[in-house]
């Protein structure tokens, strides 16, 4: 069984050790595993190389499409598990793309890892449009759900599915992270929180941006809005530390 992964270089899977840069686990040492493919197409996506391949006519602000072969690779589940285990971290962050699209292969990888890394903590980053099947869900200690607001360019009927939002709102393992670029985005997020009974203390607002100056400027007006709504603020530590680079 194979996983389809993003790459840092052609033929090199984007599996690496670092610290988590966002959300409730920011600063925690972990292994990252970035999968390829997504069911949404955000105009500001900073990992467009996982889905915006040549021939894809979805708009993206960068205007660039990516050749599939150098930016996507397949690996057997056992090979993936061996690589993750070799990095020696007790937390695994599975990201994308949309990782839940590859549930069957992920189940196999995690089955193998549980025997290699006792006590492994598994964190999954998802756009919240789909659910993990029970055998995969049983492996997951934390969901980082990032619903895509209207400024992402995705139709609401695809990106904001009421049943899915309510499902994750009721799961204490799920944290919500809204990417925002303007105060209007915060108002939209706050309306979704109220509408779907999402606990405000499990909500992060994170500025959209891929450079430190943009993040800092937006955080200045985000702080009072977090205070107003009772939300948390998420920075993007990896941007400050490494820039907008793969494998960080």
Q: Give the domain extent around 158.
A: 2-242
Count how many domains the chain has: 1
pLDDT confidence tier of residue 225, bands split at 50, 70 and 90: very high
Mean pLDDT rounded to a whole number for the chain: 97
Please count the residues of the chain. 248
> Do you find a cis peptide bond into 74, omega within 30 degrees of 0?
no
- On the CB side of 146, CA atoms within 13 Å amount to 24
Tell me if 248 is assigned to some domain.
no
Tell me if 247 is assigned to some domain.
no
Cα–Cα distance for residue pair 193/178, rounded to 1 Å:
10
SS3 24: helix
- Residue 105 is predicted with a pLDDT of 98
What pTM was computed for the model? 0.97
pLDDT confidence tier of residue 90, bands split at 50, 70 and 90: very high
- Residue 71 is predicted with a pLDDT of 98
Q: How many CB atoms lie within 10 A of CB 98?
A: 21
Cα–Cα distance for residue pair 152/169, rounded to 1 Å:
21
- Residue 56 is predicted with a pLDDT of 94
Tell me if 114 is assigned to some domain.
yes
pLDDT confidence tier of residue 156, bands split at 50, 70 and 90: very high
CATH of the domain at 205: 3.20.20.70
């Amino acid at each position: 069984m194979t996983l389809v992964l993003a790459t840092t270089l052609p033929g090199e899977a984007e599996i690496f050790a670092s610290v988590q840069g966002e959300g409730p686990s920011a600063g925690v040492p972990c292994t990252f595993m970035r999968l390829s493919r997504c069911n949404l197409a955000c105009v500001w996506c900073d990992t467009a190389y996982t889905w915006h391949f040549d021939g894809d006519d979805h708009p993206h602000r960068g205007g660039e499409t990516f050749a599939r072969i150098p930016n996507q690779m397949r690996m057997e589940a056992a090979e993936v598990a061996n690589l993750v285990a070799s990095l020696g971290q007790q937390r695994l962050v599975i990201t994308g793309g949309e990782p839940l699209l590859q549930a069957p292969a992920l189940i196999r990888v995690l089955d193998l890892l549980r025997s290699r890394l006792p006590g492994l903590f598994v964190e999954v980053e998802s756009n919240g449009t789909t659910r993990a099947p029970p055998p995969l869900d049983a492996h997951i200690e934390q969901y980082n759900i990032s619903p895509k607001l209207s400024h992402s360019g995705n139709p609401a009927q695809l990106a904001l599915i009421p049943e899915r939002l309510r499902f994750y709102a009721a799961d204490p393992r799920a944290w919500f992270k809204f990417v925002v670029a303007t105060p209007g985005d915060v108002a939209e997020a706050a309306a979704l929180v109220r509408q779907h009974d999402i606990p405000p203390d499990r909500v992060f607002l994170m500025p959209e941006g891929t450079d430190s100056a943009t993040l800092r400027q937006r955080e200045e007006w985000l702080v009072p809005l977090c205070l107003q709504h009772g939300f948390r603020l998420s920075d993007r530590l990896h941007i400050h530390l490494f820039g907008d680079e793969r494998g960080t």
